Structure 1
Amino acid sequence: MAYSQITSFRDGSGFADRGRLVLARQLAGGVVLCFVVMHLVNHALLIGSVPFADQARRWLALPWRTLPGTILLYGALLVHAGLALWTLYARRTLQMPLAEFLVLVMGLLIPDLLIEHATAMRLTGPLRGVEPSYQMVLKAQWFDNPVRALQQSVALIIVWLHACLGLGRALSASARFRNLRTMLIAAAVLLPVLALIGYADAGREMAHDLHQAEMSQHPPMPAGPVGDRAGATRIDMITTALRIGWVLLIALVLVLRQIRAWMSRGGEIEISYLGGAMVRVGPGTSVLEASRMNGIAHYSVCGGNGRCSTCRVRVLASDAVLPPPNTVEQATLARINVGQDVRLACQLRPEGALTIARLLEPPEARMTQFADTPPSERDIAVLFCDLRSFTALSERQLPYDVVFLLNRYFDIVGNAVAASGGVVDKFIGDGAMAVFGLESDLTEACRAALRCAAMIRHNIGLMNEELRRDMGLTIDVGIGIHAGSAIIGQMGFAGHMTQTAIGDTVNVASRLEGVSKDIGAPIVASHEIMSRQELSADDLAAISVTVRGRATELLVYPLQDEDAARYLEAPSR
């Protein structure tokens, strides 16, 4: 059946709305993340003293000790754990990118790692009549059984890595959070480090004091009342039961996966790829999963979450009505403005034989390298510079002199970019492209790009003094700078992959370098650059220019060398 005959999709009420599952995971994860952050902050306060951290614990734990807080926290934990099991069950294949695999494995490990600590903290009061305290926990973990201290440290790291990876995936598609990336990464590193330092220092100090007390034959330092021994036994039994129950749930999910695979053997769906490949998979398998299960190269930068469009396919024919796009797929397809015959392979789960064409079809060797370093979207500043009238100049000079001039020029550009904290993306003939903001926020990137442009112009002027004296000539360079969102990724072919930036921001920066020649200005900076850098530009005049490839005019600032000097004097942070 031709695709034109199946464009009237039926109602999707029979299909799981993956968008709602994503929302539920994010909401539950957000609640758990708040609890984890407060817990780590409490651990970090151990750097001050154990009594101080204990006092803070009562306040930090107070919201979660109320009935609504308890319901919210344990409800979020159950939802998050349940979704981890559902993710394991729903996948038709366990072949996936490493980062995605680690998130899944950590999600399944975390309940087992935390059950013992959680039950001890929650049930010690009701079953033993003892209010848990840091002194009690540190004694139990650093003195009575130091292996527990190591286990808790490992659990803390795994929980935090899982949370950071999940948060990064949730925020990766949001432009609002890109400028906060540096701050979030700093917090993600600093908070667990401080928590581990506080936990380790307090634990070692308590273990040392208790050992000293034993050596001096004095009674050991009390760590609170002993409490009900029978209550301790009941807590151990509950902990064991919960751990066994969690392992059995995972085992049950794996068994159900096998049963599903066995039951679907008789109703396999045939998926044909334009170019000859054909595979058979069970009902409910996505096209991307079908590719992964059968070793067919298929791009999926976001890991199959419907946030990018690199896995998109064109449906050429189908024997059954296709399920309608879910909310996640609809949002992504709307952004790329494609026809109804284009679908995301990670979200499309056909119910009948299907013929597709991968719209981004990678060679096998290149696919491996691409998967290792997936592209990312970043807000950056881009600088293009180009020698003016170089063709005419090269015709009048000896080839060796031309090579000498180019190397001097490239040396100036490269040193200026490096001194300003940028990266030379590429040299193109007598031009160069530099990128700023790979390791900093956009404000610093814009300021660094302006400083680099001013430095290039200044050093070209110094070079011209030598050239005028020694060779009787001078050179000139035009510069265009623009800021915005771009895709950063590894590009090229097998064995020759390099990191580069692509996108509208790069194209506009290149066009502005041409504008600098048209209007006779050494440097042309876009409004996006000037509005984000910190130095005042009130005394500079902006003009509107037409940029090839854009329907509307662009507001830019032509800068003379004396205008750019202010940025040369402002050192990069």
Structure 2
Amino acid sequence: MARSFQALIPRLRLHAGLTLLLYVTTHLLNHAWGIFGLAALESSRRVFLSFWRHPAVFWVVPASLLIHVLLVSYKLLTITSWRRLHWNEWLQIGLGLIMPLLITSHIYATRFATILYGIRDTYSYVLLSQATIAVDLYLMLVVVWLHGNLGLMAYLWHKPWFARIKQPLLIAQIVIPLLALVGIVVAHREVNQLKQDPQWLEQVWQFANPQNIDVAAATAEFMGWFGSGYLALLLGLGGGRAIILRLRRKHYLISVEYKGIATVTIAPGTSLLEASLANGIPHAHSCGGRGRCSTCRIEIIEGVKALNPPTETELRLLKRFGASGDIRLACQTIPTAACVVRPLLHHHDRSLPGAPTMISHGADKQIVIMFADLRGFTTLSEGKLPYDTVFILNQYFQSMGQVIEANGGYLDKFIGDGIMALFGLDGTLEQACHNALAAAQAMAYQLDVLNQRLEHDVNEPLRMGIGIHCGHVIVGDLGYKRAKHLTAIGDAVNIAARLEEATKTLQTQLVVSRAVMQHSALDLHNLALSEIPIRGRTQPLEIYSIESAKSLVLVPLTLNT
């Protein structure tokens, strides 16, 4: 029973938080109607209240707030190490601690004023009765909005489909509060003009506050008591947490051996990830220990029965990559007795230049892959000293590498006299396709510049072939020790390499798959579509064969998708 409740806590906290975020979203959209005037704002309010103050829904928001606060407090009380928290989690916690003061003041002055004093909290009355209400109201909603969206992004980040909605979601997260601010400001200005009319002023007061109750004074008095109680509660929780952890460490410790690394002792209730971080043992954890990725997974060498059983969430993740029974997620694993473990994934203290850190442990992404190769370089290098060959290749790699990076590409590897580059590790597929084609065009121009620079070092101008394709691949850090780096594997990578090879037989500089062209903003009027067989595939691939990448007509990309 206790185990099932522990598994239920994150879900309850999440659903309560999502309910509150939905409430705030509709509240902000309500404010945005103020752009069209006070009358539109009041009409929108009636729709808003018809739902949220319906008898069947009235207590959903207070109940969600209570559940969310209690479960977050429980989480903060039971966490044994703060080192695993990322900066965004610290920000979310800080905003969460401020929220009760802002929300309680607003709820008392509106919802509970309606219950206790019969106040009708119309926008006309609220904006009229409180001089700083526009600032206070917006500050409260933005704090709650930011707190909720930080949690939402953390929850969605490791979903395989998140990349498709990331940009529209980010736009909505910025636009909605801005529209709400404009709506409140416009309505506040209209109220300031209307209050010059004594008759309008009297009508508002008689409708909203016929008993002429000083709600502002009542709210201030209530918040004085609430603020003191809230501060005492925070101090009590902080002190209680310190006492509990001290007693745990004093009376009962559990030994955890990290095979070949160190042996540490931890207090009961400490997860293996918390144990690693508290004792300075490097341990990968992309999602911050929420059980939403599998980067903190460990091998249990001894003491499988001394661990808490895996939750449904952990079992679902372990099943995705076919883990055996001795593999667990460190963030979800709490020892009850001595055990021996070994972390399975390499921990990165630094991010790779030009590569997003969140995908370094593995992700399924739709990206663009480019292969570029020098033509006839073996013949060109015959008779040259090794130093001359290395010099020419490094000049080529430097020139092309700078162009690729300038167009948003990530240099995966140099293979002999060839280059593999990835586009779209972050951002949309449309942007990645556009960037890859822009890079190919710039590489063609840069090759002309390089040939002028090397005209006395080579017998004939350097030539190259470029193949570009897009598709789903597995992206992550592969290799061993210093040879480990971010790369991509999958069928799309192989096809891109085949397209680069096809430039030899087609006698063109660039071969691009139709899939890339469809997602780009390229003018295709003067390009002919054709098909070529691809080794290892039964169906031919539709491609565009372009004699010179310099001839591409790139249309400026609009980012409104």
TM range (shorter): 0.7 to 0.9
* Structure 2: runs of 5+ lacking an equivalent: none
- Look up the SS of the partner of 1:383 in the other structure: strand
Instruction: Extract unaligned runs of 5+ from structure 1.
Output: 1-12, 547-551
Q: Hey, what does 1:543 align to over in structure 2?
A: 533
Change (3 A) 1:393 1:186: same
Equivalent residue runs for 1:461-472 within 5 Å: none
| Partner Cα separation in structure 2 for residue 194 and residue 184 of structure 1 | 15
Aligned CA distance change for structure 1 residues 292 and 140 (closer, same or farther; 3 Å): farther
Aligned equivalent of 1:432, options 409, 416, 419:
419
Paired positions, count: 536
Q: Pick one of 159, 174, 179 that aligns with 1:194.
A: 179
Kindly indicate whether residue 292 of structure 2 is the aligned counterpart of residue 312 of structure 1: no
C-alpha distance 333-554 of structure 1, shift in aligned 2 (>3 A) = farther
Q: Flag the 1:501–1:59 CA change in 2: closer, same or farther, 3 A.
A: farther
Distance 1:473 1:37 in 2: 64
Question: Where in structure 2 are the equivalents of 1:101-180 lying within 5 Å?
Answer: 101-141=90-130, 143=131, 146=132, 149-180=134-165
Change (3 A) 1:422 1:319: closer
TM (norm. structure 2) is 0.80
Structure 2 residue corresponding to 1:422, chosen from 408, 412, 427: 408
1:228 aligns with 2:228: no
Q: Does 1:380 align with 2:345?
A: no
My pick for the range that moved more, 115-124 or 433-442, is 433-442
CA separation in 2, counterparts of 1:19 and 1:235?
39
| Partner deviation per Cα, 1:56-115 (whole Å, 9 max, x = no partner) | 121133211112222333332222222211211231233322222222332233122211
Match of 1:35 among 14, 17, 23: 23
Deviation at 1:352, TM superposition (A): 0.3
Deviation at 1:349, TM superposition (A): 0.3
Q: Which has the higher contact order (CA 8 A, sep 6+)?
A: 1
Identity of aligned residues (%): 27
1:33 deviates by 1.7
- Which residue is 1:517 aligned to? 501
Paired residues of 1:384 and 1:510 also in contact (CA < 8 A): no
Q: Mark the CA change 1:409 to 1:324 in structure 2 (over 3 Å): closer, same or farther.
A: closer
Distance 2:433 2:396 in 1: 26
Q: CA contact under 8 A between 2:256 and 2:263: conserved in structure 1? A: yes
Aligned to 1:5: none
Relative to structure 1, is the Cα distance of residues 335 and 565 closer, same or farther in structure 2, using a 3 angstrom cutoff?
Answer: farther
Contact preservation (8 Å) 2:368, 2:433: yes
By how many angstroms is 1:279 displaced?
A: 2.0
Distance 1:283 1:409 in 2: 55
| Alignment-mate amino acid for residue 86 of structure 2 | P
Alignment-mate amino acid for residue 104 of structure 1: I
Q: Distance in 2 between matches of 1:488 and 1:54?
A: 52
- Alpha-carbon spacing, 1:22–1:305, altered in 2? closer, same or farther (3 Å): same
Question: Is structure 2 residue 259 aligned with structure 1 residue 274?
Answer: yes
Q: Which residue of 2 aligns with 1:367?
A: 349
Q: Residue 283 of structure 2 aligns with which residue? A: 298
The TM-score with structure 1 as length reference comes to: 0.79
| DSSP 3-state at the match of 1:346 | helix
Which residue, out of 77, 84, 95, partners 2:72? Answer: 84
For the residues of structure 1 that align with 2:230 and 2:455, how far apart are their CA atoms?
A: 79
Select between 467-476 and 251-260 the one with higher mean Cα deviation: 467-476
Match of 2:37 among 32, 44, 49: 49
Query: What secondary structure does 1:477 align onto?
Result: strand
Whole-Å separation in 1 of the counterparts to 2:451 and 2:192? 71
Q: 1:402 to 1:85 in 2, by over 3 A?
A: closer
- Separation (CA, whole Å) in 1 of partners of 2:271 and 2:539: 43
Query: How far apart, CA to CA, are the structure 1 residues paired with 2:51 and 2:23?
Result: 10
Tell me how far 1:179 sits from its aligned partner: 1.4
Q: CA deviation at 1:122?
A: 0.6
* Equivalent position amino acid for 1:228 in 2: Q
Structure 1 counterpart of 2:323: 338
CA distance in 2, matches of 1:137, 1:509: 60
Shift of 1:177: 2.9
Q: Distance in 2 between matches of 1:199 and 1:392?
A: 72
1-side partners of 2:539 and 2:234: how far apart?
57
